[in-house]
Amino acid sequence: MSEADLVLFLEASVRLGVPLALAAMGEAITERSGVINIGLEGSLIAGALGGALAALAFGSAEAGVLGGAAAGVLAALVFAAFAVGLGTDQIITGTAVTLGGLGFTGAVYQARFGATGTALTLPTLAPLPIPGLADIPWLGSALFAQAPTAYLAYLLAPALWYFLFRTEWGLELRAVGENPDAAQAAGVRVRRVRVLATLFGGALAGIAGAHLALAHAGTFAENMSAGRGFIAIAVVALGRWNPPLVLLAALLFGAASALQFLLQAVGVDLPYQLFLAFPYLLTLAALAGWLGRTRAPAALALPWPRRG
Amino acid sequence: MRWPERVMGGPLAVATGAVLLTAMLGAVLLWAGGYDPLAAARAAALGAFGTRDALLSITLVRSVPLILTGLAIAVAFRAGVWNVGAEGQLYAGAVAAVWVGLEGGSLPALLLVPAVLGAAGVAGALWALAPALMKLRLGVGEVITTLLMNFVAIYLAAYMVHGPLQEPRGVFPQTGPIAEGARLPVLVPGTRLHVGVVLALVAAAGLSWLFRRTRIGFQMRAVGASSDAARIAGRIDTRKVVLIAFLGSGALAGLAGGVQVAGVTYALYEGLSPGWGYTAIAVALLAALNPIGVLATAVLFGALEAGAAAMQRDAGVPAVWAVAAQSLVILAVLALDRVRHRAGSEASGV
């Protein structure tokens, strides 16, 4: 294995980890409020299409990122209206939003660009090397010669940690996720907090989707989210609902995916499927408490107010 | 006495209303998208029910895994077990079924078919056991763990078809065909309808009886309604009930994988399931978790899949609209169900 292979591997780990990190950090905020959004996949794919359409319309990848965020919020809004507004079951609602995201993006894409799926060429979100940092040996190009969305992820990790654990609003958000009745008694508007947390998660998932279309593929393809919304939910658990750890967990999942390219590049015939399964097993182990104490927010997935 | 109305009239009205609402909304959206809704509906109906072959070889064959996974979800959700892992349990069942079907070629069919299906059910149940124990022993919620187990199962199946169980020439990422004696016989000669459909019917009837007439069926409903009340007031061993719900659900989902392998594909490959484990949630919900209802809604969803292909071919409407329709139908059920509950609680003064 040459040094070049290793650098490529690290670079791919980060590139594959970034969309997971963005979606998972958003979902971490959502889950901290007691809402598990299984419809995250719907926000991701909506973000990919919204990002592609906005980038085409305005001729800029940056506009695409904003379009992706808006589309992700739209999908999350449907989820929030049902699961928080009407108090429907979060798992079932999330399933509907995921199916709806995959179905309607496919329908819109085919209506606009035809069933043959003419390959779109989009303005791309090009890597933006940070002068100085990108020249650090090995890790420099992996971490600091990425698309701008990667830097958004790096900045969000400490910012969201500060928000969650050092601000009044963060405290209220966590209270809503741990004990909504007590939070309400203390004057917190539980539903509003949950809706906002869900929409924030949708926005980040939408940006993650736009990143897939604009920074990875340079095009939109049906189902291109490829289950990343569900993977992000696993990443949140491995990252213990704590944004900086969630970022690291996402990079680990990215590394597991990147490993198959490394193994192919160096010509080692190892069963890479088992490596792909590894982060999921690690997450199960983490949830089982084998890697230290981990606990989901106490009110996660419970409808509120509770029905009698 | 509102009970019979709640069980029979209520959910049936909600399901019918949801299907009608989805059809109307779908028609408007199709029209807005520049398609002809009537031509689409005609093509879909003909594609799903128009000919003997469409009905038996396509619609019903596609309904079988949806019935079994739909029943799996019904068992779990009744007891308040949020098993999102039917997809993984299905793959675990498919892997076990293929393995037995490849290795057991020397056995007579009378033994081999039950061995294949039994292995599938056991594998599905075992796949559900890990999340069950994590919930019961460690208090870890099953939504995330069952979801995680899906990925592990899908990668396990991928490993199998690239590795130990790959077809002998080692070219394609799939297993070789299972032994003739491991395959489910065709039920109606000249069609692809296999006896798995009978198995699905029996499973639905059995579960219906179990839910309505047995102690464990009652206990599951009680635990699902309120775990604390069932434990304290009903003196029910809730942990045992939850474990049974997990294992039963996993076994049914595993059986779905086994039946698909033994009745349709005769081999395992990546992407065996187009997401039946998730669609099953819609199937079971539309049926209000009623096993006999699952038969109807699974056939409806099977027809939707079959009709979608015909709709794309004959009316130029992309098949992906069927996925969008599944989403609309779930949202319609959820909304109508809430409306019904609100109306109900106002009427009874609660």
| pLDDT above 60 for B5 | no
| pLDDT above 80 for B222 | yes
Query: Which has the closest alpha carbon to A90: A27, A16, A167?
Result: A27
Confidence band, pLDDT 50/70/90 cuts, at residue B225: confident
Distance CA A253, CA A227 (A): 13
Q: What is the pLDDT of residue B8?
A: 43
Minimal CA separation from A127 to chain B, in Å: 31
Selected residue of A20, A27, A31, A95 to mutate for chain B interface (largest B Cβ count, 10 A): A95
Chain B residues within an 8 Å CB radius of A81:
none
Distance CA A56, CA B281 (A): 36
- Element containing residue A273 per DSSP (H, E): helix A272-287
B155–A contact, CB cutoff 8 A: yes
Burial of residue A298, with CB atoms counted within 10 A of its CB: 0-12 exposed, 13-18 middle, 19 or more buried: exposed
The ipTM (two decimal places) reads: 0.91
CB atoms within 10 A of CB A39: 33
Torsion of CA A226, A229, A235, A237, to 10 degrees: -140
| Beta carbon pairs, A and B, within 8 Å | 149
DSSP characters over A135-194: GSTTHHHHHHSS-HHHHHHHHHHHHHHHHHHHSHHHHHHHHHHH-HHHHHHTT--HHHHH
Chain A residues within an 8 Å CB radius of B143:
36, 38, 91, 301
Per-residue pLDDT tens digits for B57-108? 999 999 999 999 999 999 999 999 999 999 999 999 999 999 999 999 888 9
Residue of chain A whose alpha carbon sits nearest to that of B313: A115
Q: What is the pLDDT of residue B96?
A: 98
Minimal CA separation from A274 to chain B, in Å: 7
Chain A residues within an 8 Å CB radius of B282:
95-96, 99
Subunit contact A93:B328, Cβ cutoff 8 A: no
Per-residue pLDDT tens digits for B265-298? 999 999 999 999 999 999 999 999 999 999 999 9
Per-residue pLDDT tens digits for B319-329? 899 999 999 99
Closest Cβ opposite residue A88 in set B156, B327, B338: B338
Selected residue of A259, A264, A280 to mutate for chain B interface (largest B Cβ count, 10 A): A280
Residue of chain A whose alpha carbon sits nearest to that of B158: A273
Distance CA A308, CA B8 (A): 21
Chain A residues within an 8 Å CB radius of B285:
92
| pLDDT above 80 for B205 | yes
Confidence band, pLDDT 50/70/90 cuts, at residue B210: very high
Closest Cβ opposite residue A82 in set B325, B326, B334: B334
Distance CA B30, CA B38 (A): 10
Subunit contact B34:A100, Cβ cutoff 8 A: no
Distance CA B111, CA A68 (A): 55
Tokens found for residue A271: 């069963």
Residue of chain B whose alpha carbon sits nearest to that of A114: B318
Per-residue pLDDT tens digits for B126-153? 999 999 999 999 999 899 999 999 999 9
| Number of residues assigned to chain B | 350
Residue B297 included in any domain: yes
Q: What is the pLDDT of residue B346?
A: 56
Chain B residues within an 8 Å CB radius of A281:
152
Subunit contact B134:A288, Cβ cutoff 8 A: yes
Selected residue of B78, B135, B140 to mutate for chain A interface (largest A Cβ count, 10 A): B140
Subunit contact A273:B156, Cβ cutoff 8 A: yes
Decide: A210 and A64 in contact? Cβ < 8 Å.
yes
Q: What is the pLDDT of residue A302?
A: 87
Subunit contact A300:B141, Cβ cutoff 8 A: yes
Residue of chain A whose alpha carbon sits nearest to that of B159: A273
Q: What is the pLDDT of residue A295?
A: 83
What is the Cα gyration radius of chain B?
A: 21
Averaged confidence pLDDT in chain B:
91
Number of domains chain B contains: 1
Domain ranges of chain A: 3-287
CB atoms within 10 A of CB A140: 17
Q: What is the pLDDT of residue B136?
A: 96
B188–A contact, CB cutoff 8 A: no
Q: Which domain holds residue B89?
A: 3-345
Q: List, in sequence order, the alpha helices (H) in chain B.
A: 3-4, 10-32, 37-45, 52-53, 61-78, 86-103, 109-138, 142-162, 196-213, 215-225, 227-232, 238-260, 276-286, 291-315, 321-347
B321–A contact, CB cutoff 8 A: yes
Per-residue pLDDT tens digits for B167-187? 999 889 999 999 999 999 999
Residue B350 included in any domain: no
Quickly name the fold that domain A3-287 has: ABC transporter involved in vitamin B12 uptake, BtuC (1.10.3470)
Chain B residues within an 8 Å CB radius of A300:
141
Q: What is the pLDDT of residue A266?
A: 79
Q: What is the pLDDT of residue A116?
A: 61
Residue of chain A whose alpha carbon sits nearest to that of B225: A308
pLDDT in tens, chain A (308 residues): 678 888 889 999 999 999 999 999 999 999 999 999 999 999 999 999 999 999 999 999 999 999 999 999 999 999 999 999 999 999 999 999 999 999 999 999 988 887 665 667 888 888 888 988 888 888 888 899 899 999 999 999 999 999 999 999 999 999 999 999 999 999 999 999 999 999 999 999 999 999 999 998 888 988 999 899 999 999 999 999 999 999 999 999 999 989 888 887 777 777 888 888 999 999 999 988 888 777 889 999 888 887 64
Residue B156 included in any domain: yes
Per-residue pLDDT tens digits for B14-37? 999 999 999 999 999 999 988 999
Residue B120 included in any domain: yes
CA-based max dimension of chain A? 63
B273–A contact, CB cutoff 8 A: no
| pLDDT above 50 for B349 | no
Subunit contact A99:B151, Cβ cutoff 8 A: no
Distance CA A248, CA A20 (A): 10
3-state SS, residue B69: helix
Subunit contact A95:B150, Cβ cutoff 8 A: no
Subunit contact B155:A276, Cβ cutoff 8 A: yes
Selected residue of B330, B337, B348, B350 to mutate for chain A interface (largest A Cβ count, 10 A): B330
Q: What is the pLDDT of residue B4?
A: 44
Looking up residue B303, the CATH number of its domain turns out to be 1.10.3470
